[in-house]
Amino acid sequence: MLALGLVLFTVGNGEAHLMRVIGWLAITGGTFAGGAGLAFLGDLSRRFATQNAFFSRISATMNVEQGLAESLRLLLEELAMAFSADEALLLYRDTDLERIFLWRLKSGESERLIPETLPLSRTDGFLLDDMEATLCWNSLVGPGSGFGWDRRDGRPLKNLPRIPGPTQTELKIRSLMTVAFDQAGAPVGRFFLLNGRKGQRPFQKSDLAWLERIAQHISPSLENIFLLRHLRARAIESERSRISRDLHDGILQTLLSVEIQLDVLRRRVPTTPDQAISGLANLQQTVRNEGAELRHMVTDLRPLRVQSADLVDLMRGFAERFRNESALALDLLIDSAELQSPDRICRELFQIYREALNNIKKHAKASHVVVKLTQDDSRLTLVVDDNGEGFSFAGKFTGDELDRLRLGPISIKERTRTVGGVLTIESNPGHGARLTIEIPLA
């Protein structure tokens, strides 16, 4: 403004030459342009910082330790607040389970999210018939008002996919934005933001582009969360199968045998009472033994709260009980009295250790087991070595190789993966097996 005033003053007094005026005007224009540029860069910097802060917040919601339900609740809460939406939804298509899972959060709610499960036949109704569509509808009345593009190349969509009427009614949709998220490079689900709050402007193209960027940013973290959920589900399924097998092959078979023997003894009582009394005593001991076995099974099923400071004591306690209950010689070698590992890793490691020893006791026909637990700066290593019959295969295989061959203990494989570990099994049929688990600590 000062430069422009000087130019006008000089011209008014007739003292200006043409080149001098042009120079003053150039300076004035440059000053204005520089100021505008600095203001633009400042605004851009503030926007960039705001977006980075938002990315940091939503990334923090994807925490394996707090579980899937709480992670998704915090994520949907952030999205609903950021876009002033009444509701935020996440839909995930699980092809293994042949179901669609729907997590739904109304703005302001803080209760734990429990997903609704839907059949895959409702895919078009919720996930639309075009998973590559990035879409916004500001009105669904009549022909509606909306816009969208193909997320692969950004080309505008000529025919916007619409949410079917029954779904609109079920979710009470007035307006929406939706974008897809990926797993393994392919779309598997969608975010929905429903019904912008009253008094707010309609959703803009910039809002939809921002939501698309958020989905791209959060997809890898979501993939990890869903993968962990899948691994845990498989581990639970494997554990249930093991419990069912142990009950069928152990206690249930014993009860059937007891029933048959009781029927035989009942017939003998009138003619040979002494034999019946001896037989009843044997049955009583059998029932007592099975009762003790059942108590141990129930104890093993109780959830464990294993902490790093307790792991060594728990392993030694279980080893002592194992020696008392079996004829196997067990050597437990631990290189440190205090292991420094996350509680989650310690919990899974103890379960693996316990299951490995129980498997050896039941199936390996071994006489000696050596367990070694070591830790260095980068990893925790558990080795279980026995002199029994070994597995049905010969050689050294990783967990992934065993999966492809459909071999090895399923639950131990899944627990190892849950903590990011690497499982190796070396088997020599007739001469024993060695199980090694390495868990990175970094």
User: What's 106-175 look like in SS3?
Assistant: ECCCCCCCCCEEEEHHHHHHHHCCCCCEEEEEEECCCCCEEEEEECCCCCECCCCCCCCHHHHHHHCCCC
Compute the average pLDDT of residues 257-262: 83
Local confidence band at 166 (pLDDT 50, 70, 90 cut-offs): confident
Percent of the chain exceeding pLDDT 70 equals 82
Q: What's the confidence (pLDDT) of residue 227?
A: 75
Report the distance separating Cα 171 and Cα 191, nearest Å: 14
Residue 40 has pLDDT above 60, yes or no: no
DSSP type of residue 424: E
**3-class state of residue 103 by DSSP:** strand
Q: What's the confidence (pLDDT) of residue 255?
A: 81
CATH 3.30.450.40 domain span(s) along the chain: 65-227
Residue with tokens 């150039």: 26
Q: What's the confidence (pLDDT) of residue 47?
A: 61
Q: Are 413 and 403 in contact (CB under 8 A)?
A: yes
- Output the six-digit token pair for 6: 């000087």
Q: Are 308 and 314 in contact (CB under 8 A)?
A: no
Residue 351 has pLDDT above 60, yes or no: yes
- Where does 306-442 sit in CATH, by number? 3.30.565.10
Buried b (16+ CB within 10 A) or exposed e, 333-355: ebeeeebebeeebbbbbbbbbbb
Q: Domain 65-227: which topology?
A: Beta-Lactamase (3.30.450)
Residue 21 has pLDDT above 70, yes or no: no
**pLDDT top residue among 237 and 207:** 207
Report the distance separating Cα 87 and Cα 84, nearest Å: 9
Local confidence band at 211 (pLDDT 50, 70, 90 cut-offs): very high
Q: Which parts of 273-383 fold into alpha helices (H)?
A: 273-301, 311-325, 343-359
**pLDDT top residue among 323 and 56:** 323
Distances (CA, A) of 179 to 74, 219, 226: 18, 11, 18
Q: Are 167 and 129 in contact (CB under 8 A)?
A: no
Local confidence band at 423 (pLDDT 50, 70, 90 cut-offs): very high
Compute the average pLDDT of residues 14-33: 59
Report the distance separating Cα 330 and Cα 316, nearest Å: 11
Compute the average pLDDT of residues 215-229: 83
Write a three-state SS string for 36-96. HHHHHHHHHHHHHHHHHHHHHHHHHHCCHHHHHHHHHHHHHHHHHHHCCEEEEEEEEEECC
Compute the average pLDDT of residues 325-342: 83
Q: What's the confidence (pLDDT) of residue 10?
A: 55
CATH 3.30.565.10 domain span(s) along the chain: 306-442
**3-class state of residue 301 by DSSP:** helix
The alpha carbon of residue 304 and the mean position of all alpha carbons in its chain are separated, in whole angstroms, by: 20
Q: What's the confidence (pLDDT) of residue 368?
A: 95
Q: Which residues neighbour 2 within 8 Å (Cβ) at sequence distance 6 or greater?
A: none
Question: What global pTM score does this model have?
Answer: 0.54
Q: What's the confidence (pLDDT) of residue 176?
A: 93
